[in-house]
Structure 1
Amino acid sequence: MEKKNKVEKVKALRETTDLYLRDIRKYTPLSREEEASTLNAAREGDEKALHHLVTANLRFVVRVAGEYTGRGLSLSDLIAEGNVGLMRATKTFDPTRGHKFITYAVWWIRQAILSALNRQTHPVAFPVNQLDDRDIISKTSGAMAQKLERMPNIDEIADVTEFSPRRVRRALATSQAAVSFDKPVYDDGVRQFADIFPDDAPEPDELVHTAHLHDLLRESLAELPEREAEIINRYFGLNIDDSESLEQVGKRFHISRERVRQLKDRALSRLRQHMDLEESSAA
């Protein structure tokens, strides 16, 4: 009976989420001109304009939420938390800088989701001061991204916050999570998140946090033997147009598929050790 009730709950949750996803498809992203006029109206207290602004960006909340499925919260809970972040962004966004609203809002969406996940999965995992650093860096980076019209790097954030680069990396480590656009939406794995929207659906803007992780990854790759670094780059599609299969990489280096797999696994182990060392030695 208990198992049956659980299955029924999962089915009900799936149906509810499906309805929500289908419903938000009718809301299309705003053009730059529409966004500007809607923002102005919303700032003047027009509740209808505020609702229009929020609903036009709900698909971006779903995209960000989908990156964190399988980590302790259902997709519907992740979306709900992301919507809270989206609403916060509408109250603090500065349209006079001339940037897209979602570039700024996605920071608040992600922060709300990460905070919820941290409460769910790491209630005492990180020191309070480290979480405080993360919040400071998050807000600072968002403001810098608008001002610089690009993503700030770790050194630039360190200069503004007066934190050491290692301290910045350590703080960012509290919110790191593996991102896969092809992870199942539901815990039973019946569907992939990439199936929710068509291929030509607009992507959210690049996130500052991703840039930081790329910085750390590049530094770690530089510590690998040249061949192992090249295998990682090609297998995961880093710095190239398309990723390559084990067979394709093997042909390139004139080695077997199994040997490529062994080298890849060894390289990944070294990468993890190096990145963990960088984060644990941060001060």
Structure 2
Amino acid sequence: MTTTATNALSVRDPWSLVPPLGNLDAYISSINRLPLLTQEEETRLATQLREHDDLKAASALVMSHLRLVVSVSRNYLGYGLPHGDLIQEGNIGLMKAVKRFDPTQGVRLVSYAMHWIKAEIHEYILKNWRMVKVATTKSQRKLFFNLRSMKSRLKEEAADTDVHRNTLTRDQVERVARDLNVKPEEVLEMETRMSGGDVAMESQNDDGEEAYAPIAYLADDRDEPTRVIENAAHDRLAGVGIGEALETLDPRSRRIVEERYLKVNDDSSGGMTLHELAAEYGVSAERIRQIEVAALKKMRKTLEPQRV
């Protein structure tokens, strides 16, 4: 290790070389000035860490690769998440890589750490890009992080055509599915998830727009206590209650009500008409109507106390 590098990475507190968080540009400028390690220096420090749990060696390995995290994190700025947060998550991945790094495998830490840095950034994006997770399986994660770039490339290839679409064509969907070894249906589903945004269940305004918020038409109130009581009362009135109300009527009034409202023939034509009943009882149709009205009024009075 050069004298400058040795002195820089052997101070009592190596992290003092990095300025306090808050100014991202100053942070990036400072870590870009940190010295890089040669392969021999890297192997020696990694060996010290594995054999003696040397935290200073670990700090030196981490600090010399902080610029790698910044470089990798820039590739994920298109997801709309803070650059500082992406760097922070990438640093966690770098520290995990340093902890697990085996210098005897003949691989440089920069190659080994790349996987861990990306893994932590990927996990952060999947958790924070949407309130609802958009990818849970391994194939969905791969599709999520490749679909955006592949979609842009396909649009560029189709720029000379007269077709201007925000969505993929069927041929493009099949091509993406083939390249990523997934089903076309999974490509379509992921494209739908990525194109949609989060929607608040309740209205965010105080201007009386609650009726148009999803909570107004997505809520299931079938098990709501008041609705359960109302349904139970309705079922009783439609069953036992009607029977009890009919028992209060004289035979003629009961038959008129049953023929007019409760009887259904095989051809779904209903019971007898006013004129048919009038002919049977030898009175006018108007008289049958009056008896019907009086009977229904009496039944309503009987049923009223049973209502909840």
Task: With the length of structure 1 as denominator, give the TM-score of the two structures.
Answer: 0.48
Which has the higher relative contact order, 1 or 2, with Cα contacts under 8 A spaced 6 or more apart?
1
Pick the structure with greater CA Rg: 2
Task: With the length of structure 2 as denominator, give the TM-score of the two structures.
Answer: 0.44
